Amino acid sequence: MITLKGKLIYLRALEPEDLDFIHTIENDESIWELSSTMTPYSKYLIKQYLEHAHKDIFEVKQLRLVISDYQDTALGMIDLFDFDFKNSRAGVGILVKESKNRQLGYGSEALQLLVNYSFKHLGLHQLYCNISENNDASLKLFTSQGFQKIGLKKEWNCVDTVFKNEYFLQLLNN
């Protein structure tokens, strides 16, 4: 049985009520480096995005889920992006919004649930992610779930006029 429920959290589809939560995340300049964002998003644009969030991953090439605790508090988001049906792969991104909720197992459980869903339900062959060389917490999270560092992209991202290296990590469904 496919489930998106763990012991600590569950993953759920986006709802219209998530507008303010997503708006806060997308406009937090401190995390723009993680998503390569360069400009703020309006509530209008996010509302339009939410209106289409119900579309199938095969159509929009993305699946964004909310990480929620069992008190129905939205803790963060986890995404499959660049879904490639032909090559049976997708990228993974994850964010636990509040620093007080990090390193409590929420991200680890969310990633584990998404990996299981991707391999068992979507039948993907591989998942990948791109992580800044100095993002130790994310590197630890993904490697703890079996992702392997495949390569280092030198001076890949420009952040505040400084070029930073980025690791490419991959998990194969063997």
* CB atoms near residue 12 (< 10 Å): 15
Select the more confidently predicted residue: 34 or 135.
Answer: 135
pLDDT in tens, 44-83: 777 777 777 777 777 778 899 999 999 999 999 999 999 9
| Amino acid present at 168 | F
Tell me the pairing of strands 126-132 and 89-96. parallel
Evaluate whether the domain defined by 9-124 bears CATH number 3.30.360.10.
no
Q: Is 147 exposed, middle or buried (0-12, 13-18, 19+ CB in 10 A)?
A: buried
| Amino acid present at 124 | L
Query: Which sequence spans correspond to the domains of the chain?
Result: 9-124
pLDDT in tens, 104-163: 999 999 999 999 999 999 999 999 999 999 999 999 999 999 999 999 999 888 777 889
| Amino acid present at 6 | G
Query: If pLDDT is split at 50, 70 and 90, which confidence band does 99 have?
Result: confident
Select the more confidently predicted residue: 173 or 160.
Answer: 173
Residue 157 near residue 166 (C-beta atoms within 8 A): yes
Query: If pLDDT is split at 50, 70 and 90, which confidence band does 33 have?
Result: low
pLDDT in tens, 152-166: 999 888 777 889 999
Q: Is the pLDDT of residue 1 over 60?
A: no
pLDDT in tens, 17-27: 988 888 888 87
